[in-house]
Amino acid sequence: MTDARGTSHVYGIDRHTLCLTSLPTTNSTHSLFALGTLGVHEPGEIHIVNLNTDDDEVLHNTVFTHTTGIRSLSAWDEHELMVVSTEGTVELVALPQEGEGETRVVAKLEQPGRANRVVCHPQAAIKQAAVVTPGAGISVWDMARVLCTQSLALDDVETSAWHPTASSILATSDTHGGLRTWDLRTATASVSIDCAHAGRIRALDYNPNLPYHLASGGSDGVLRIWDLRQPLAPLISASNHTHWICALHYNPFHDQLILSAGSDALVNLESAVSVSSARAADTHSDDSMRPTDGLVMQYDDHESSVYAIQWSATDPWVFASLSFDGRLVINTVPREEKYKILL
């Protein structure tokens, strides 16, 4: 499907889904996404969906079975995934190298309580994973040694996000609207914002180019960007969702673009160019061709809550969204906005 907003590709399965991750790959013409099924009444599955721009943008898929349903996924590469099962166990699993088949458990983590989320550090060389366990807190694992290196005892932790380059800085949110950044070397909070949102903060992401900027999205339906050096008030607040924001992500290549997805079944593409690394580089003489802050496009391809979104790890203009009803939609940034950024 093609219109002013760009091209859409739809991949649907008759399973309930909560989690999606983008898979780094050495093939620059492939955008790989992995989704996991909940496996409520059937075995769990991991679907690898590949948008191949060398093949007229045809979608290819591979399906792997898993012993349990899957609640959370994260990855450093296309061969291994960190998986949180619906039972709350955490595993490093390997995918078969050729064809379909069953995943292989490489390592199983000994966790207190039932985990609900795992987040891999964005730098593959820093093979660390943060595991979120409600009621227990955050545990940090060195997966090169399969060793827990740090634990933060947090009663009401909701989610977390890694600093884009540092291995010792982690952001967390709680169920009461609080936001913290932690120095893992001392296990102390370096920044604390007690009332960042009116209610639960469900999504966090660091700006990959300005790592003192942190975006947050909450049950109040508001997306905010914070300067952690001056955290008394947000730099930007955007209220373009009518219900919870469940996920948000900065574009890893062009940090003025931010995706958010919510339980209102909407995916929003926002521009925050005024607080991005692109602001200083803006040389447009024609104001009509200058990117501006605000909602770039709203996507209504889903019929149920959208719990996950991801940018492609290889193509800066491609992103995917996943709703609870098993519908994966791959979209592209509108051509007009793309040209504003590039020209």
Q: Is pLDDT above 50 for 298?
A: yes
In order, the DSSP letters of 224-280 are EEEETTSTTS-SEEE---SS-EEEEEE-SS-TTEEEEEETTS-EEEEE-GGGSTTTT
For tokens 């290549």, what's the residue? Answer: 253
Q: Is pLDDT above 70 for 56?
A: no
Of 13-17, 109-113, 253-257, 309-313, where does mean pLDDT reach its minimum?
Answer: 109-113
All domains in the chain, ordered by first residue: 1-16+237-279+288-343 (2.130.10.10)
pLDDT digits (tens, 9 = 90+) for 316-331: 999 999 999 999 999 9
pLDDT band for position 281 (cuts 50, 70, 90) = low
For tokens 């091209």, what's the residue? Answer: 7
Q: For residue 289, what pLDDT is reported?
A: 64
Q: Rounded CA gap, 40 and 68, in Å? A: 9
Q: pTM higher than 0.75 for the full model?
A: yes
The DSSP symbol for 342 reads: H
Q: Rounded CA gap, 31 and 318, in Å? A: 8
Q: Which residues contact 242 (CB under 8 A, 6 or more apart)?
A: 221, 262, 264, 266
Q: Is pLDDT above 80 for 3?
A: no
CA torsion sign for 174, 193, 222, 211 is negative
Q: Is pLDDT above 50 for 1?
A: no
* 34 or 6, higher pLDDT: 34
In order, the DSSP letters of 15-33 are S-EEEEEEE--S-TTEEEE
pLDDT band for position 2 (cuts 50, 70, 90) = very low
Q: For residue 279, what pLDDT is reported?
A: 77
Helical segments of the chain, H only: 335-342
Q: Rounded CA gap, 260 and 245, in Å? A: 7
Cβ atoms within 10 A of the Cβ of 240, count? 18
What is the percentage of the chain residues whose pLDDT exceeds 90?
85
| CA 189 to centroid of chain Cα atoms | 23
